[in-house]
A and B are shown apart, each in its own frame.
Chain A
Amino acid sequence: MGTQLNINENLEEDPFDARLRDEAVYIDDAGFTAGVAQKLPNRPVRRWVRAAILIGVALLASVAVYVLFGGVWGIAEGVTRLSLLPLPVIWLGAAGATIVVMVAGLAAVVSKASGRSR
């Protein structure tokens, strides 16, 4: 314990330490901070903002469908017409929709993964 105290006291008193500290060179920033700031990951969208966007888009789409089809009866008629289409056309439509959803999902996963690896 006494030895430890002596060591610390010696370090505090020694002018050599002051010289070491004084001669430590200040490194000029020279764009270093800007380089780091540029590489910081993008700010994530807050959860409530994301939820609000999704709900807003869903509401807008519902209103658009309601207006375009001329109300509830128009929508019912549209669904009936869709169900009367030939089976291959319905299959094609379903496959197309599936592919669109898969591509969108894949794009989201890839974008999220690249964001994490940065």
Chain B
Amino acid sequence: MALTDADLVARVLLDDDHHAFAELVRNHQSSVRGLLRQLVRTDVSLADDLAQETFLRAYKNLRSFRGEARFSTWLYRIAYNCFREEARKRKELVGIDEAQLEAEHDPQTTDPALRHDLARALQLLPLHERTAVVLCCQNGLSHDEAARVLEIPLGTVKTNVLRGREKLKRTLAAWGPN
């Protein structure tokens, strides 16, 4: 029988069990790396470095995880903080790149080869909408959980998700029939 996140966390806390922590990493690496790849967008290796940093921070601060939220939600919050720190260090990552992609965001001029490419369409969204959509629609967080991860008001999360989804639909519709 597979152990739950809570069981694995307890093992790490009680016995400093590296194998249990590795199991947690294995269970959540895809969603954390996926989120960071969506946030970073341009650099997969940077996203993986941030994901590694996320898990190392999680290990060091595991005692502060009180089990009130899901373990994955707690991880996403650490991942988002890692991303924000990195983005602050490299302003061009968010600043220039975001502006450039905003300018490019014209579905009619996009390469036809990218039709139906949901991942690509997702990457055309502004950072705040993309993050909200990925957390809520892809990773299954509730609006409330996403608001806690992103440290923004609940209403803002809902607005960002709605706008992001609408833009995604419009982009995909412009690229071709579903």
Partners in one complex: yes
Render A30-57 as a binary contact track against B, CB cut-off 8 A, 1 for contact: 0011111101110110000000000000
Render B33-61 as a binary contact track against A, CB cut-off 8 A, 1 for contact: 11001000000000010011001100110
Closest to B117 in A: A23
* Cβ A39 vs Cβ B25 within 8 A: no
Q: How far is the CB of B178 from chain A (nearest CB, A)?
A: 8
Main DSSP-derived SS at the A contact region? helix
* Chain B residue total in the interface (Cβ 8 A): 33
* Cβ B158 vs Cβ A4 within 8 A: yes
Q: Out of A27, A33, A40, which one reaches B59, CB within 8 Å?
A: A40
* Cβ A24 vs Cβ B22 within 8 A: no
Q: Does A64 contact B (CB under 8 A)?
A: no
Q: Does B77 contact A (CB under 8 A)?
A: no
Residues of B within 8 A of A28 (CB): 30
Q: How far is the CA of A39 from the CA of B56 in the complex (A)?
A: 8
Q: Does A92 contact B (CB under 8 A)?
A: no
Q: Does B105 contact A (CB under 8 A)?
A: no
Closest to A34 in B: B22
Residues of B within 8 A of A11 (CB): 136-137, 161
Render B1-40 as a binary contact track against A, CB cut-off 8 A, 1 for contact: 0000000000000001010011001100110011001000
Q: Out of B48, B133, B143, which one reaches A8, CB within 8 Å?
A: B143
Residues of A within 8 A of B99 (CB): none
Q: Does A26 contact B (CB under 8 A)?
A: yes
